[in-house]
Amino acid sequence: MIKDVLQDARERMSKTVEALQSDLRGIRTGRASPALLEGVKVDYYGTPTGLNQLAGVTAPEPRLLVIRPWDRTTIAAIEKAILKSDLGLNPSNDGQVIRLVIPQLTEERRRSLNKQVAKRVEEARVSVRNIRRDAIEMLRDLEKEKVISEDDEEDGGKKVQELTDDYVKQINEVGKAKEADILEG
Protein backbone atom coordinates (compact mmCIF):
# COMPACT_ATOMS: atom_id res chain seq x y z
CA MET A 1 0.00 0.00 0.00
CA ILE A 2 2.78 2.43 0.90
CA LYS A 3 4.57 1.61 -2.37
CA ASP A 4 1.39 2.49 -4.28
CA VAL A 5 1.11 5.87 -2.51
CA LEU A 6 4.79 6.60 -3.18
CA GLN A 7 4.53 5.53 -6.82
CA ASP A 8 1.49 7.76 -7.35
CA ALA A 9 3.26 10.72 -5.72
CA ARG A 10 6.44 10.07 -7.76
CA GLU A 11 4.47 10.00 -11.04
CA ARG A 12 2.55 13.17 -10.23
CA MET A 13 5.71 15.02 -9.14
CA SER A 14 7.53 13.88 -12.28
CA LYS A 15 4.68 15.24 -14.41
CA THR A 16 4.95 18.55 -12.55
CA VAL A 17 8.65 18.82 -13.46
CA GLU A 18 7.89 17.92 -17.09
CA ALA A 19 5.11 20.53 -17.21
CA LEU A 20 7.47 23.16 -15.83
CA GLN A 21 10.13 22.32 -18.43
CA SER A 22 7.55 22.53 -21.20
CA ASP A 23 6.20 25.81 -19.81
CA LEU A 24 9.65 27.37 -19.58
CA ARG A 25 10.46 26.45 -23.21
CA GLY A 26 7.88 29.07 -24.19
CA ILE A 27 9.83 31.88 -22.51
CA ARG A 28 12.16 33.43 -25.01
CA THR A 29 15.83 33.80 -24.31
CA GLY A 30 17.01 36.00 -27.17
CA ARG A 31 17.67 33.05 -29.46
CA ALA A 32 15.13 31.85 -32.00
CA SER A 33 13.56 28.49 -31.20
CA PRO A 34 10.38 26.94 -32.64
CA ALA A 35 9.51 25.90 -29.05
CA LEU A 36 8.90 29.58 -28.38
CA LEU A 37 5.61 29.34 -30.29
CA GLU A 38 4.35 26.04 -28.81
CA GLY A 39 1.79 27.73 -26.57
CA VAL A 40 0.37 30.03 -29.27
CA LYS A 41 -3.25 29.19 -30.15
CA VAL A 42 -4.68 30.47 -33.42
CA ASP A 43 -8.41 31.07 -33.93
CA TYR A 44 -8.88 28.74 -36.90
CA TYR A 45 -12.50 28.94 -38.07
CA GLY A 46 -13.67 29.49 -34.49
CA THR A 47 -11.52 26.73 -32.98
CA PRO A 48 -8.38 27.49 -30.94
CA THR A 49 -5.71 25.48 -32.74
CA GLY A 50 -2.02 25.12 -31.95
CA LEU A 51 0.21 27.08 -34.32
CA ASN A 52 2.31 23.98 -34.99
CA GLN A 53 -0.81 22.31 -36.46
CA LEU A 54 -1.34 25.13 -38.95
CA ALA A 55 2.22 25.84 -40.05
CA GLY A 56 5.80 24.72 -40.14
CA VAL A 57 8.11 26.74 -37.90
CA THR A 58 11.84 26.89 -38.56
CA ALA A 59 14.77 28.89 -37.20
CA PRO A 60 17.07 29.47 -40.21
CA GLU A 61 19.13 32.05 -38.28
CA PRO A 62 19.86 32.53 -34.55
CA ARG A 63 17.49 35.51 -34.31
CA LEU A 64 14.84 34.63 -36.90
CA LEU A 65 11.81 32.35 -36.94
CA VAL A 66 10.04 31.58 -40.20
CA ILE A 67 6.46 30.38 -40.08
CA ARG A 68 5.23 28.71 -43.25
CA PRO A 69 1.43 28.17 -43.04
CA TRP A 70 0.01 25.08 -44.73
CA ASP A 71 -2.97 27.24 -45.78
CA ARG A 72 -2.07 30.82 -46.78
CA THR A 73 -5.50 32.11 -45.75
CA THR A 74 -4.47 31.61 -42.11
CA ILE A 75 -1.63 34.16 -42.24
CA ALA A 76 -3.74 36.97 -40.76
CA ALA A 77 -5.08 34.74 -37.97
CA ILE A 78 -1.57 33.52 -37.13
CA GLU A 79 -0.23 37.09 -36.99
CA LYS A 80 -3.13 38.11 -34.75
CA ALA A 81 -2.45 35.18 -32.38
CA ILE A 82 1.26 36.06 -32.16
CA LEU A 83 0.44 39.68 -31.38
CA LYS A 84 -2.06 38.61 -28.68
CA SER A 85 0.49 36.28 -27.04
CA ASP A 86 2.78 37.80 -24.41
CA LEU A 87 5.91 37.08 -26.45
CA GLY A 88 6.46 40.71 -27.42
CA LEU A 89 7.21 39.85 -31.07
CA ASN A 90 6.04 41.67 -34.20
CA PRO A 91 5.31 39.40 -37.17
CA SER A 92 5.84 40.49 -40.76
CA ASN A 93 4.67 38.58 -43.81
CA ASP A 94 5.20 38.59 -47.54
CA GLY A 95 2.00 36.70 -48.40
CA GLN A 96 3.81 33.35 -48.27
CA VAL A 97 5.58 33.18 -44.91
CA ILE A 98 5.62 35.06 -41.62
CA ARG A 99 8.95 36.20 -40.26
CA LEU A 100 9.59 36.86 -36.58
CA VAL A 101 12.79 38.70 -35.79
CA ILE A 102 13.85 37.97 -32.22
CA PRO A 103 15.26 41.21 -30.83
CA GLN A 104 18.21 41.35 -28.47
CA LEU A 105 16.90 41.25 -24.91
CA THR A 106 17.23 44.44 -22.89
CA GLU A 107 18.32 44.26 -19.26
CA GLU A 108 14.81 45.26 -18.18
CA ARG A 109 13.23 42.53 -20.31
CA ARG A 110 15.68 39.96 -18.92
CA ARG A 111 14.66 40.87 -15.36
CA SER A 112 11.01 40.64 -16.33
CA LEU A 113 11.54 37.20 -17.90
CA ASN A 114 13.45 36.02 -14.84
CA LYS A 115 10.52 37.10 -12.66
CA GLN A 116 8.21 35.03 -14.88
CA VAL A 117 10.55 32.04 -14.51
CA ALA A 118 10.70 32.49 -10.72
CA LYS A 119 6.89 32.66 -10.55
CA ARG A 120 6.45 29.49 -12.59
CA VAL A 121 9.13 27.68 -10.57
CA GLU A 122 7.36 28.63 -7.34
CA GLU A 123 4.04 27.39 -8.76
CA ALA A 124 5.70 24.06 -9.53
CA ARG A 125 7.12 23.87 -5.99
CA VAL A 126 3.65 24.53 -4.57
CA SER A 127 2.23 21.82 -6.79
CA VAL A 128 4.83 19.31 -5.53
CA ARG A 129 4.08 20.27 -1.93
CA ASN A 130 0.36 19.76 -2.58
CA ILE A 131 1.12 16.29 -3.92
CA ARG A 132 3.14 15.63 -0.76
CA ARG A 133 0.17 16.72 1.37
CA ASP A 134 -2.17 14.41 -0.55
CA ALA A 135 0.21 11.46 -0.17
CA ILE A 136 0.59 12.02 3.58
CA GLU A 137 -3.20 12.26 3.94
CA MET A 138 -3.54 8.94 2.09
CA LEU A 139 -1.05 7.36 4.46
CA ARG A 140 -2.96 8.73 7.48
CA ASP A 141 -6.21 7.37 6.08
CA LEU A 142 -4.61 3.94 5.60
CA GLU A 143 -3.35 4.05 9.19
CA LYS A 144 -6.80 5.06 10.52
CA GLU A 145 -8.35 2.17 8.61
CA LYS A 146 -5.73 -0.10 10.23
CA VAL A 147 -4.39 -1.16 6.81
CA ILE A 148 -0.90 -0.07 7.85
CA SER A 149 0.71 0.43 11.27
CA GLU A 150 1.69 3.77 12.82
CA ASP A 151 5.35 2.99 12.20
CA ASP A 152 4.64 2.25 8.54
CA GLU A 153 2.75 5.52 8.25
CA GLU A 154 5.67 7.40 9.79
CA ASP A 155 8.21 5.67 7.54
CA GLY A 156 6.01 6.35 4.52
CA GLY A 157 5.77 10.03 5.51
CA LYS A 158 9.57 10.25 5.66
CA LYS A 159 9.87 8.65 2.22
CA VAL A 160 7.28 11.07 0.81
CA GLN A 161 9.30 13.97 2.27
CA GLU A 162 12.51 12.63 0.70
CA LEU A 163 10.71 12.34 -2.63
CA THR A 164 9.42 15.90 -2.26
CA ASP A 165 12.89 17.25 -1.46
CA ASP A 166 14.30 15.48 -4.53
CA TYR A 167 11.67 16.92 -6.88
CA VAL A 168 11.91 20.43 -5.40
CA LYS A 169 15.68 20.22 -6.04
CA GLN A 170 15.01 19.21 -9.67
CA ILE A 171 12.56 22.12 -10.06
CA ASN A 172 15.13 24.57 -8.67
CA GLU A 173 17.76 23.25 -11.11
CA VAL A 174 15.39 23.65 -14.07
CA GLY A 175 14.63 27.22 -12.97
CA LYS A 176 18.30 28.14 -12.48
CA ALA A 177 19.19 26.74 -15.91
CA LYS A 178 16.46 28.81 -17.58
CA GLU A 179 17.48 31.97 -15.69
CA ALA A 180 21.10 31.45 -16.78
CA ASP A 181 19.89 30.94 -20.36
CA ILE A 182 17.97 34.24 -20.24
CA LEU A 183 20.91 36.15 -18.79
CA GLU A 184 23.27 34.67 -21.39
CA GLY A 185 20.89 35.12 -24.37
In percent, how much of the chain has pLDDT > 90?
A: 38
CA distances from 89 to 30, 37, 39, 69 (A): 11, 11, 14, 18
pLDDT of residue 88 exceeding 80: no
What pLDDT does residue 104 have? 78
Q: Which pairing describes strands 55-61 and 47-50: parallel, antiparallel, or unpaired?
A: unpaired
Output 175 or 61, whichever has higher pLDDT.
175
Q: Which CATH number fits domain 34-101: 1.20.120.160, 3.30.1860.10, 3.30.1360.40, 3.30.2350.10?
A: 3.30.1360.40
Per-residue pLDDT, averaged over 69-90, amounts to: 86
pLDDT of residue 73 exceeding 80: yes
Assign 28 a pLDDT band (cuts: 50, 70, 90): low
What pLDDT does residue 30 have? 64
Map out the domains of the chain as residue ranges.
2-25+106-184, 34-101
Indicate the fold that domain 2-25+106-184 takes in CATH: Topoisomerase I; Chain A, domain 4 (1.10.132)
Distance of CA 58 to the CA centre of its chain: 21
Per-residue pLDDT, averaged over 18-26, amounts to: 86
What pLDDT does residue 124 have? 95
Q: How far apart are CA 22 and CA 39, in angstroms?
A: 9
Assign 40 a pLDDT band (cuts: 50, 70, 90): confident
Residues near 64 by Cβ (< 8 Å), separated by ≥ 6?
32, 99, 100, 101, 102
Fill in the amino acid letter for 7: Q
pLDDT tens digits for range 138-157: 999 988 998 888 888 899 99
Assign 29 a pLDDT band (cuts: 50, 70, 90): low
* Length, in residues, of the chain: 185
CA distances from 2 to 8, 31, 75, 163 (A): 10, 46, 54, 13
Assign 71 a pLDDT band (cuts: 50, 70, 90): confident
pLDDT tens digits for range 92-135: 888 889 998 887 778 887 888 888 899 999 999 999 999 999 99
Fill in the amino acid letter for 176: K
Q: Which pairing describes strands 64-69 and 91-93: parallel, antiparallel, or unpaired?
A: unpaired
The CA angle 97-98-99, to the nearest 5 degrees, is 120
Contact by Cβ (8 Å): 43, 51:
no
